[in-house]
Structure formats: C-alpha cells, structure tokens
Amino acid sequence: MKKQILFSIIFACFMHFANAQWQQTNGPYGESITCIAISGGNIFAGTPYNGVYASSNNGSNWNAANSGLPANEWIRALAIGGNNIFAGTSVGVYFSSNNGSTWTEAGLSGNDIMSLVISGSNIFAGTSDGVYLSSNNGNSWSAMNNGLPTYSAVNTFAIDGNNIFAGTSRGVYLSSNNGSTWTAAGLSVHDIMSLTINGNNIFAGTEGGVYLSSDNGSNWVAESNGLPENSIIQALATSGNNIFAGTWGDGVYLSSDNGSSWSAVNFGLTDTNIFTLATSDSNIFVGTFGGIFLSTNNGSNWFEVNNGLPIHSCVNALAIDGNNIFAGTSSGVYLLSNNGNTWAATGLTNINIDALAISGNNIFAGGTYGGVYLSSDNGSTWTAAGLSNYDIRSLMISGNNIFVGTQYDGVYLSTNNGSNWTLANTGLPNNTVVRAFAVSGSNIFAGTWSFANTGRGVFMTTNNGQLWTEVNNGIPATSGVLALAINEGNIFAGTTNGIYLSTNNGNNWNLVNTGLTNTDARAFAVSGGNIFVGTDDGVFLSSNNGQLWTAVNDGMPANSCVQALAINEDNVFAGTGNSGVWKRSLSEMVGIKEIDNNKNNIEIYPNPANNKIIIELQKLHAITKNIVSIYNIQGEIILQQLLQKEKTELDISNLSRGIYILQLKSNDKTEVAKFVKE
C-alpha cells in the first residue's frame, strides 16, 4: 500500500531546518566555585574542570582566564602576591603575571594542590601529602614537612606575623621559622577545613563546627552556639569585627562577638553548599556548589553574580505549564518564563530535585531524601507534601491520583494533593527503584531498576496501584528501565541497554536501537509521530515508531548526557547532566510542520523505502520545469534533478539509512516532503 506524506510549506521554513542547531539557554547556572581571590578591583574564581574566571567589575561580568591552564582539572586554590597570581590545581601549581591572561607551569607537577598562601617572597603550597615552599615564584620547591604527620592533607593556611598555621586532616600545626619545623597546635582529632585570624584570635572550621584559640593554638574552645549541630565549616573569613562561616548545606553564618554566637545570613542565597568565602571592603563573595553570590551589607542580602560563568548545572527533570518551563536541578527548581533566556530560582532551593509533575495550578517536586514538595503559585512558595525521609525518583499525575516512585521503597499514592500517602507496592519486587511512569487509559506502567539483576523491568497496574504485574517479555533482566513514553498505543521503554517497544500493552517487547550510538536511554518526549530520546550521547529522533533513530545534536557539546526532555509548542528543551538546558526548534528537527491541506500536491512511495522512491505529482505544475532536491538531516544537498513527468522514479540505494527532506521547486512555489531510507 502506498504510504503518503502530504506537505505544503514555504521555503523559509525549510531553510531554517537546514541551519538548525541547539542553543544553550542562559542557565540554570550551576558551576561550582571552589576558591576566590581578590586583588584591588580584580576578582578571580576557580572552578572544577573549567579553569579560572576573572571579573573587573565586582562580579557583574566574568570572563575565562584559562590560557595555559590544564584542561579539565580542578582549581582548588588561588593566591595573589603583588602582580603575580598562583593557581593550585589537581596537577600542580600555575603562575600568571598578567591578570590571568596567560598561565605557565610553576612546579609541583602531578601534585594535588589543596591550598596556597603567600608570605613576602615565600609561597607555601599545601598538598594531599604535606607542605612545599618556593622562594622564587615557583621555579623550585622544597618539601617542608618536619613535624607534620605523614599522609595528611593540608587543606588551609593562615598567617599571623611570623606564625604560619596549617590546617590539616589531623589538626592544626604551627611554624614560626618559615616552615622549617612544625609543631602540633591542637584539634588533632579534627579535619581542619578552614582557618582565619582576627586580632589575637584564630578560628578553625572543622567537620564539627568552629573552634577558637587565643594563645596560638595551645588551647581551643568550641564556639558553635547558633550553628547547626555538627555543621561542616568549609570556609571562614573576616571583615572588620565580623566573622563569616560558610557551611556545607546550611549556608553562611555571621558572628559579631568573636564566635560566641552565630546567626544565619542566607536571604537570597539559593545555594547553601559553600566552598569558599572572600571579603574586600564591604563586599563579601561566596563561592557555592552552584555559582557566586555577593553581599554588600554583611550578609543581610545576597544576589547572584554569575553572568559569563560557564553553565554547568545538572538538570534532572523538566516540566511545562503554559509558557513556563520548570527545571529540577541539583540545587532546586528553576523557572524559565515565556520561552525567554533567563532562568530564575523558585522558592525551592538547596535540594536535589529528580522529578517534577504539574496538575492544574499545582506543581509537585520530588527531592533526594527530601520528599515531595507542592507549589500552587508558580513556584514562588513551596510546602512539604509528605514522604519527607524518602528519596523521590519519579512523579506522575493521573486524574486526582499522584504516584510517586522512590528509591528502594517502591510506589506511593496520594488522592488528596499529598496530604496523605498510601503504599501501593503489591506485586513489585522488594528494594526496587521506580524511575519512570506512563499512563494509557486505565493502564499505568512503572519502569524499575535495581543494583541486582532482579527487580528490573516494566510493571503494569489496571487498578491504580493495588496490584502490579510484571510485563517484561523480551526485556532482558539486566536492563534497568530509566524512562517510559506512550504514543498512540505504542509503549517505549528507555533502558540501560537501549530502547524497547511494545505494541500490545507490554505483553511483548522488541529492541529498537537502530541508529543509536549510546544505549543509556534516559528521557523521552513525543510530538505527533516524532519521538525524541535523550541519551549519554545527546538527542536522537525517530519518526517511524523507533525503527530508525537519527542523531539531532548539532550545536550541542559532544557526548552530552541528556537526562530530561520536554516540548513546548515549537521548542524542544533538553536538560543535561553538566551544561544546563538547551533549546531547539521542533520544526527544524523534524524538517517541517506536517500540514495536510488536502491539495495532494506530492506523493512519495514507498515510505519508508529501501532502494527506490516514486515521486508522483497529482497535477503537473503548469510551469516550464520542476527541480527536485534531496537533503539529509544536516541540511546538506545529496541529489538534484529535473522532473519532467507526473511520476518519476529515483534510485536511493546509495543513500545511508536515515531521514531525508525532498524539496520540489518551481517558478511559483516550493513544496517539501519527508521520507525515510531504511
């Protein structure tokens, strides 16, 4: 039987397809800032894997300052002495004398540099195995470990006159002779993560709060009143009489009484996982897991200063409500309004969000060991909606029913917007991870995964979760299910071994991997007959029910891990594991919008085809000539010839498998059709 595709579209739309590519949206920001150094009006920020960034306008704009730095290595420490900047990386020390424009190696190659400090002409480097000293700008280094414990990481330094304090994984050590010898200075049972000095007082940040010494480390007292219990103090900084403590997970705390009491100063700080703090006059910069924040009023208010930094956020989930796109990230929920280019943090931050679902005005978010959260005001405010101690991996709404998939605890059901939850696990294996849901009429499907080779696959319920039945015939036991999608009665299961298709409600499954270059199928999105899948090698498209997949990755970084997909009108959004959210026109990827205008101008058959296609014009155009051109999915012209008959046969045996666009051009118009070569 002839398979007919009817199209009519203006030429401009086709040209958009030929030049299509993904565009990175402006966020959500998520680049971790591991260290900050300030010299006059210049601010330098170190990152993991993306080198050093510099700002000369108080963080309003950042520019990469990476020339000469090793690629994909952590910048763990920065120190400035005069016109010289030193960067401690995971593979040695680097040096710049021109504000970071260029860098050169400065010794200790192969060493993981944890900390740097400069005292006059001396540079001290703390490594994962002791202290090194250079007195000639890094041309040569000497180990200075006499008195230090072996195999102890040196995480931080502080200098007070001739005294150099080293914070190690086995307490504080003091040297008064330029590192020639070190003596223990207390807190030997603690991992010292940060040090700062204010007058005669030395403050030490540990894995269990803040400690204070007023006698060069001979005695220490805990000064954690007001800090969260067992808080991890990653960073300390002073500004006048104020001491700031940066914690991991609890944000920034301020003490104005030498540590006797602390109070949280986190308003506007949307990421409370703190790596580093730096002060300059009235400016306080904080480097977090998800970017840089600035306060000019002692922490009373914070605002993001991330413009120009690399977008490195991990996006786990996407959901669309009208023109609003919500992204669940490793640091909370972000909102992109009206298809714009600016993401804004919602009221739910500082939590890893793996799942999102929308019903009417209600938005539900599932967090890692944070339970379910609900917002009814477009994300401005959120309230806890139960399961607070559970690791939520998937959410689905069907009518008044909300299904939650958890890690190791199965499925829960709520019929009252999360006020109450009921375990709905009968028939599911124990200790399974429910990664995905899909619904088709009264049938609900759950995709599961486990560390063992049991408990993996697809399960179905016909009674709202009262009983689940395994429907895995054709899916190997080794295939964990990561995503599910339903399109016109066809069920697609994205697994760790590729994509499986069932056309009979899960009774049987067939592998449909042709064209995929990676078999970790993590996310689906469906638009009409077009199915998109996100993998660890980008996005693939099938327009023939999964029989053939074609990469549609132009503009996206190579090997992008796409963990979430969503479609809003003509835009496809892709959430990635390390570069935020990307956007691309749907009509560009599928070639055109398919419009049946009943004019029957072009008929192509067979479609899909193997060796030949027949192009039939239902009515020969009343013109002097018809030129047909065939383009591949990248927009490159493959074949062109003149049509002089109403029915023309074209040999396509030499074409590779994939999707092709056929363009028929005449004097008065251009028409476009699509066919698939199998």
Q: Enumerate the β-bridge partners of residue 324.
A: 321
Mark whether 562 and 606 lie in a shared domain. no
pLDDT confidence band for 641 (50 / 70 / 90): confident
Number of neighbours of residue 228 by Cβ within 10 angstroms: 15
- pLDDT in the model for residue 360: 86
Mean pLDDT in residue range 413-435: 91
- pLDDT in the model for residue 76: 94
Mark whether 401 and 530 lie in a shared domain. yes
Q: Rg of the chain over CA atoms, in angstroms?
A: 30
Mark whether 439 and 495 lie in a shared domain. yes
Mark whether 658 and 510 lie in a shared domain. no
- pLDDT in the model for residue 594: 39
Buried b (16+ CB within 10 A) or exposed e, 516-531: bebbbbbbbbbbeebb
Q: From CA 28, how far away is CA 270, in angstroms rounded? A: 12
DSSP 345-371: EEEEESS-EEEEEEETTEEEEEETTTE
Q: From CA 272, how far away is CA 452, in angstroms rounded? A: 35
pLDDT confidence band for 453 (50 / 70 / 90): low
Number of neighbours of residue 393 by Cβ within 10 angstroms: 22
Strands in 343-442 per DSSP E: 343-349, 353-359, 362-367, 371-375, 383-384, 392-398, 401-406, 411-414, 422-423, 433-440
Of the CA atoms within 13 Å of residue 138, those in its CB half-sphere come to 24
Query: Quick check: 484 and 439 in contact, CB under 8 A?
Result: no
Strands in 240-310 per DSSP E: 242-247, 252-255, 263-264, 274-280, 283-288, 291-295, 303-304
Mean pLDDT in residue range 394-418: 92
pLDDT over threshold 70, residue 256 = yes
Q: What percent of the chain has pLDDT over 90?
A: 54
- pLDDT in the model for residue 292: 93
Of 655 and 68, the structure prediction assigns the larger pLDDT to 68
pLDDT confidence band for 14 (50 / 70 / 90): very low
| Secondary structure in 3-state letters for 490-550 | EEEEEECCEEEEECCCCCCCEECCCCCCCCCCCEEEEECCEEEEEECCEEEEECCCCCCCE
Q: From CA 347, how far away is CA 521, in angstroms rounded? A: 31
Q: Dump pLDDT digits (tens) for 321-347.
A: 888 899 999 888 999 876 566 788 898
Last residue of a domain, one of 123, 142, 170: 123
| Residue 573 resides in a domain | yes
The token pair at 312 is 């490195």
| Residue 246 resides in a domain | no
pLDDT over threshold 50, residue 376 = yes
| Residue 250 resides in a domain | no
Q: Dump pLDDT digits (tens) for 19-75.
A: 568 988 887 877 889 999 998 889 999 999 889 999 999 988 999 999 999 988 899
DSSP 463-498: STTSS-EE--TTS-TT--EEEEEEETTEEEEEETTE
| Residue 144 resides in a domain | no
Exposed (0-12), middle (13-18) or buried (19+): which is 450, by Cβ within 10 Å? middle
pLDDT over threshold 80, residue 306 = yes
| Residue 160 resides in a domain | no
Closest C-alpha to 81, from 24, 25, 138: 138
- pLDDT in the model for residue 15: 42
pLDDT confidence band for 315 (50 / 70 / 90): very high
DSSP 546-605: TS--EE--TTSPTT--EEEEEEETTEEEEEESSS-EEEEEHHHHSSS-----S---EEEE
Mark whether 495 and 604 lie in a shared domain. no
Query: Quick check: 658 and 632 in contact, CB under 8 A?
Result: yes
Closest C-alpha to 76, from 60, 61, 94: 94
- pLDDT in the model for residue 11: 35
Number of neighbours of residue 415 by Cβ within 10 angstroms: 14
- pLDDT in the model for residue 658: 78
Last residue of a domain, one of 78, 96, 123: 123
pLDDT over threshold 60, residue 675 = yes
Place of tokens 């490793």: 330
Mean pLDDT in residue range 200-229: 93
- pLDDT in the model for residue 528: 80
- pLDDT in the model for residue 345: 86
Last residue of a domain, one of 586, 615, 634: 586
User: What is the edge-to-edge ordering of all strands in the sheet holding 353-359?
Assistant: 353-359, 362-367, 371-375, 383-384
Query: Quick check: 191 and 203 in contact, CB under 8 A?
Result: no
Q: What domain count does the chain have? A: 3
Mark whether 466 and 610 lie in a shared domain. no
Q: From CA 156, how far away is CA 114, in angstroms rounded? A: 7
Mark whether 85 and 39 lie in a shared domain. yes
Q: Dump pLDDT digits (tens) for 589-640.
A: 875 433 333 344 678 889 888 889 988 876 544 444 677 888 776 566 778 7
The token pair at 74 is 């952590």
Q: From CA 126, how far away is CA 154, in angstroms rounded? A: 5
| Residue 174 resides in a domain | no
| Residue 571 resides in a domain | yes
Mark whether 631 and 512 lie in a shared domain. no
CATH number at 638 reads 2.60.40.3080
Mark whether 549 and 600 lie in a shared domain. no
Mark whether 608 and 466 lie in a shared domain. no
pLDDT over threshold 80, residue 12 = no
| Residue 201 resides in a domain | no
Mark whether 598 and 454 lie in a shared domain. no
- pLDDT in the model for residue 13: 40
Note the Cα 511 to chain centre separation in Å.
Answer: 29
Q: From CA 636, how far away is CA 426, in angstroms rounded? A: 54
CA angle, residues 497, 500, 503, in degrees to nearest 5: 170
Mark whether 42 and 16 lie in a shared domain. no
In which domain, by residue range, is 654 found? 11-20+593-677
Q: From CA 551, how far away is CA 544, in angstroms rounded? A: 14
pLDDT confidence band for 167 (50 / 70 / 90): very high
CATH number at 499 reads 2.130.10.10
